[in-house]
Amino acid sequence: MMMTDAILTIRDIAQALKLGEKTIYAMASEGELPAFKVRGQWRVRKVDFEVWLSRQAGDHAASAADEMADLPPTEPLANSSQMDLNMPTVAHETHAMSDLSERVPLQELHRRFVSALDPTSVRSHSAWEVKPFELDLAPPLPQRLRVYMFNATRPPGGRPLGEHKIQLIAPGQQRGQRASFDNGDGRIVLLVGYAAEEDVFILWDAGLYADFAWSRNVQVKAATIVQASAGKLATQDRQLRPPSGRPVAETVLAVKPRRLAEAILKRMELARERLLRE
């Protein structure tokens, strides 16, 4: 017979991780939690949650090989010896992730992206909950766009203060699998992070992120976020050092919503320059 506490709710997990329910909802919507829906409500099996929690350190270590070599290593969020996963309820299990910044649900990410553009520029778009999010735009913006959008958060440890990151998980990608962005149908692909607390969009070069591991970390420096928060079109130059192959230069962009269209055009310009160099 199934135990009464074998299924956890969004509220249960929010209490366990000391995070807001909106943050947990966003994590479930983006596939970061082993959650499933019952009549539109998110639920997580307690055993799956415990396994997920205990594997966080291992996942960060595994993804480190895909990150830039000049970045400091990711410290584990916590280890299993610090967590009492045998408690009858989850309310007092851990507060190891309490420093994570605000997250918003996937639908809201897409709404904020569209709201940042001139209404006359957006001809049509896919349903809010669909990922990747596809838009048809008016010139001079790219007419066919495919956006992979993620919450950009401040990890709780092992990173420079204020640095933000996203975790790449493609639709349908499972733990241990590798994935790539869909470049088909003539659509231009954008890799976008959104720092909700600062209301800043970050645009990486999607063409440099192929065949990535599940939950790969992609970062942006705190100084870049600060410059964008001040209203600038902020840029950050860095070197990607893949496990095999020569280093590749990338320019990361960050902007407030009113300059998103400008950043999209700049991202396209930089991508063209990179392709010409190759």
Q: Delimit the domains of the chain by residue range.
A: 7-82, 106-277
Task: Using alpha carbons, select from 68, 128, 270, 104 the residue that is nearest to residue 194.
Answer: 104
Confidence at residue 51, expressed as pLDDT on a 0 to 100 scale: 79
Higher pLDDT, 31 or 263: 263
- Distance (Å, whole) CA 53 – CA 56: 6
Higher pLDDT, 35 or 271: 271
pLDDT higher than 50, residue 193: yes
Residue 56 binned pLDDT confidence (cut-offs 50, 70, 90)? low
- Distance (Å, whole) CA 14 – CA 139: 43
Q: Encoding tokens for residue 49?
A: 């949650």
pLDDT higher than 50, residue 200: yes
Among 33-47, 179-193, 220-234, the range scoring the smallest mean pLDDT is 33-47
End-to-end CA distance of the chain: 61
The separation between CA 37 and the C-alpha centre of its own chain, rounded to angstroms, equals 21
Confidence at residue 73, expressed as pLDDT on a 0 to 100 scale: 36
| Residue for token pair 């009113």 | 258
Q: Encoding tokens for residue 163?
A: 């640095």
Architecture per CATH, domain 7-82, reads as Orthogonal Bundle (1.10)
Task: Using alpha carbons, select from 219, 204, 211 the residue that is nearest to residue 166.
Answer: 219
pTM for the whole thing?
0.68
pLDDT higher than 90, residue 150: yes
Residue 50 binned pLDDT confidence (cut-offs 50, 70, 90)? confident
The total of other beta-carbon atoms located within 10 Å of residue 260's CB is 24
Confidence at residue 90, expressed as pLDDT on a 0 to 100 scale: 36
The H or E element that residue 276 is part of is helix 260-277
Among 9-18, 172-181, 208-217, the range scoring the smallest mean pLDDT is 9-18
Task: Using alpha carbons, select from 227, 149, 156, 237 the residue that is nearest to residue 194.
Answer: 149
Mean pLDDT score, 137-162: 86
pLDDT higher than 90, residue 5: no
